[in-house]
Amino acid sequence: MFMELKPINPALLDAFDRYAKGLSAQDRIGIIFDDDSDGFSAALIVCKAIERLRGRKPDYYVSERVVSHDRFDGVVEELRAQGINKIISVDAPLDNVAKEKVRRLEEFAEVLVMDHHKMYEDLNSSRMTFLKPQLIWETESSSYPTCKFAFDLFSRVVDLNEFEWVACIGIVGDSAYNRWKEFVDKNSAKEGWKKEENIFDSGFGVISKIIYAIQVMAPGRMMEFFRFANSVNNPTALLYSPHADLLKEMDREVAEGMNQFHARAEQYPELELIWFEVRPRHSIKSLLINRISHELHPNKTVLLVQDLGGVKLNVSGRRQDFKVRVNDLLEEAVKGLEGSSGGGHIPAAAGVFMRKDLPTVKKRVMDLLKSGKCKN
């Protein structure tokens, strides 16, 4: 598919090729990855590619949300202490981190960044190869998840055809199935899986939910599942992992959340807006809003505010028909507020803000939708 896209910067593809072909058995390679299904799958793709390129796996992994958890300084020192001299970051928008912090990675390592989020700043330098789909091709980047991006790029230098299924997990989990339907359906058929009306009920959808369940219910087991996923040769094995048991408890919470949605969600037809505030036991917001958006309101802007009892509230946004840029909507809604952040993709985004600012955020969302400022 990527070969059909119109290139706008072939030099960046050359830069990637030089970096990938330059990886050696003597290097100490560290991987930074977001621990959602896209970042997880992208890191697996990178791991498979590196093993084929140099004969052994990467040396160290950081699987935390280093951007959203303000741990970036600690991550830098962690990688430095491990003697890492090559860093590959996937699905973490490092251009949304303070530039001086990101540049500290270059003090001890050559860095490759692969990401598909909104572009904030071009970080390319003599020590950093910074890649997003929209920097290389004329393409919409939100529906080009990092796992597929990494698969396409590394396939330039090594044969990864037998690992297409790895990319499918992140494609489905990152709500990009419609764009890569043929690719995903082909790999589902290889597994003998029947086609489901809801893609999240498919084999790849269930695996993406297992990753999310670990993220929410047992984050300390994420690397355990990553190692397991890296040891198997087909996705069906992942469906029968012991980690799949976490789905049962999460599914119960999601069902409770759906009941609350039907009872309490606020609808604003003139704005094509659904507003829903929920207080679950665990952070199930992404799975809950995916169900609401995909199954009930694909052509409306759905915003879900999650209250876990702390001083901050989380918000997720979805809009499946791309008529509103939900990433810009949330970014603008929290701009300038203490301890806030927001952004993501056009159809799917997230943010965080102080509890005291809930009325302000809600009013800003409505004003932005009325103004049409975030229309796509």
Looking at residue 252, its pLDDT comes to: 92
Overall number of domains in the chain: 2
* Chain center to CA of 53: 25
Q: Classify residue 376: in a domain, yes or no.
A: no
Beta-carbon contacts of residue 326 (< 8 Å; ≥ 6 apart): 301, 317, 318, 319, 344, 345, 346, 347, 348, 349, 374
Write 275-278 long-range contacts (CB < 8 A, 24+): 275/303, 275/305, 275/362, 275/365, 276/302, 276/303, 276/304, 276/305, 277/304, 277/305, 277/307, 278/304, 278/305, 278/306, 278/307
Q: Tokens 């303070």 appear where?
A: 98
Looking at residue 284, its pLDDT comes to: 93
Q: Classify residue 245: in a domain, yes or no.
A: no
Determine the structural domain holding residue 292 and report its residue range. 259-371
Do 114 and 170 lie in a common domain? yes
Looking at residue 3, its pLDDT comes to: 55
Q: Classify residue 325: in a domain, yes or no.
A: yes
DSSP assignment of 196-254: PSSGGGSHHHHHHHHHHHHHHH-GGGHHHHHHHHTT-SSTHHHHTSGGGGHHHHHHHHH
Looking at residue 197, its pLDDT comes to: 87
DSSP assignment of 138-160: S--STTS-HHHHHHHHHTTTS--
Give the domain CATH number at 197: 3.90.1640.30
Closest CA to 341 of 22, 101, 64, 118: 118
* Alpha-carbon span 317 to 351, nearest angstrom: 9
Beta-carbon contacts of residue 237 (< 8 Å; ≥ 6 apart): none
Do 147 and 51 lie in a common domain? yes
Query: Exposed, middle or buried, 345 (CB in 10 Å: 0-12/13-18/19+)?
Result: buried
Do 221 and 134 lie in a common domain? yes
List, run by run, the mean pLDDT of 10-residue segments along the chain (376 residues): 78 97 97 94 98 96 68 91 98 88 96 94 96 95 95 97 97 93 96 91 95 91 95 95 91 94 97 97 92 94 97 96 96 95 91 97 98 94
pTM score, whole prediction: 0.85
Looking at residue 344, its pLDDT comes to: 87
Do 125 and 153 lie in a common domain? yes
Do 172 and 285 lie in a common domain? no
